[in-house]
Amino acid sequence: MSTPGEMGTEDWPLWEVFIRANRGLSHVHVGSLHAPDAEMALRNARDLYTRRNEGISIWVVEATAVTTSDPDRKGEFFESPAGKNYRHAIYYTRAEGVKHL
């Protein structure tokens, strides 16, 4: 097991933290933290983000493992649904005689 910091130059990697508040809910991103490895990241997350009974389950993911969409290109990326009302169910009229809709 190598120890981050042994070269005196590198920092601990960044981890993204997801907490599930209750059974049946999804894990929600709550923030990020530094830790030398995954096990310590879980423990740091417990100290930082569950101090007031916020959760019953924690996921940590190394930040470099998360691929993000480009905020500068959100125009092209997210706005194309505009004007495509046929993507919404409400666009369609119900055919006569169709039940349970």
Partner 1 sequence: MSTEEEIDVHGDVSIEELDLAAELPGSGRTATPEIAEYATRLGDDALILSQQLGWWISRAPELEEDLALGNIALDLLGHARAFLNFAGTASGRDEDEMAFMRDEPEFLNCWLVEQPGQDYGPMLARQLYFSAYQVQLYTALEHSADESLAAIGAKARREVTYHLDHSIMWTLRLAGGTEESRRRLIVALDDMWPYVDELFEDDDLTNSLDGVAVRPSSLREGFDATLAAVFAEAELELPTAKPAATGGRQGRHSTPFGYILAEMQWLARRHPGAKW
Footprint of partner 1 (CB under 8 A): 1-3, 5-6, 12, 33-37, 39-40, 43-44, 46-48, 51
Q: What CA dihedral angle connects 71, 76, 79 and 82, to 10 degrees?
A: 180
The single residue listed with the structure tokens 């999804």 is 26
Q: To the nearest whole angstrom, how small is the minimum distance from the Cβ of residue 100 to partner 1?
A: 46
Give the tokens for residue 24. Answer: 């049946």
Length reported for the chain: 101
Q: To the nearest whole angstrom, how small is the minimum distance from the Cβ of residue 57 to partner 1?
A: 16
Q: Please say which residue, 27 or 34, places its beta carbon nearer to partner 1.
A: 34
Q: To the nearest whole angstrom, how small is the minimum distance from the Cβ of residue 99 to partner 1?
A: 50
Q: Please say which residue, 54 or 96, places its beta carbon nearer to partner 1.
A: 54
Question: Of the candidates 69, 66, 54, 50, which has an alpha carbon nearest to the alpha carbon of residue 14?
Answer: 66
Q: Please say which residue, 29 or 43, places its beta carbon nearer to partner 1.
A: 43
Asked if 17 contacts 34 with a C-beta cutoff of 8 angstroms, the reply is no
Q: To the nearest whole angstrom, how small is the minimum distance from the Cβ of residue 30 to partner 1?
A: 14
Backbone angles phi, psi at 23, to 5 degrees: -60, 135
